[in-house]
A and B are shown apart, each in its own frame.
Chain A
Amino acid sequence: QQPVQSPQAVILREGEDAVINCSSSKALYSVHWYRQKHGEAPVFLMILLKGGEQKGHEKISASFNEKKQQSSLYLTASQLSYSGTYFCGTDHGGATNKLIFGTGTLLAVQP
């Protein structure tokens, strides 16, 4: 049931763009995105609710395709500070607000 993320890892130069995908085998109620830097806690980036909306957070945005049970995170003009492991978290509805986190994508931005 764990959502699958792709790619597993990506290396970028500063200023390049990246896309991280999250795919679930179950119907989604919402998708969360988090970034975790080495040795630190995951930090909430954004949430996408049912409705296929796209959200933005500075140069980081995301989309949600309910039909395909997928979400994508878009990082444009990447900065060194974007480095870290990105996790999607899927909420399949119900009364618990439970998140199942994806397999993670390691992003390294080099100067």
Chain B
Amino acid sequence: DTAVSQTPKYLVTQMGNDKSIKCEQNLGHDTMYWYKQDSKKFLKIMFSYNNKELIINETVPNRFSPKSPDKAHLNLHINSLELGDSAVYFCASSRYSTGTSYGYTFGSGTRLTVV
């Protein structure tokens, strides 16, 4: 069974449209993340939720809004898509503790192309 699953895998859309990406994990992890990987392969943190609470909110345009209905799901909604939003978006999850650090498990990614 897939540990972290994202849908859709590919998303091609026109500028100005609104789209959502969904992520689900069945690992029992407490924390989920959204990362953006650009054409230069840089992986940049966008958001993180711990048990449905937003704990990381990097400098991301307001057009991006994450939502976590429960600790196993984290969705990303993007309004008014722009050409510069084209990238691969990865969802990830990890265990959580303030006393240590845990490895991430990534989803397979969503390749978003804005035309």
Residues of A in contact with B (beta carbons under 8 Å apart): 2, 29-30, 32, 34, 36, 40-44, 46-47, 49, 85, 87, 89, 91, 95-101, 103-104
A91 CA to B104 CA in the complex, in Å?
12
A72 CA to B58 CA in the complex, in Å?
28
Residue from A44, A85, A95 in contact with B104 in the complex, judged by beta carbons closer than 8 Å: A44
Residue from A32, A34, A42, A96 in contact with B56 in the complex, judged by beta carbons closer than 8 Å: A96
Residue among A34, A44, A97 with max Cβ neighbours from chain B (10 Å): A97
> What are 6 A-to-B residue pairs whose CB atoms are below 8 Å?
A41-B109, A47-B102, A91-B101, A96-B48, A96-B56, A101-B44
Interface size on B, residues (CB 8 A): 26
Mark out the residues of chain B between 72 and 115 whose CB falls within 8 Å of any chain A CB in the assembled complex: 90, 94, 96-98, 100-109
Q: Is B100 within 8 A of A44, CB to CB?
A: no
Q: Is A98 within 8 A of B45, CB to CB?
A: yes
Kindly provide the distance from the CB of A61 to the nearest chain B CB, expressed in whole angstroms: 16
A46 CA to B101 CA in the complex, in Å?
11
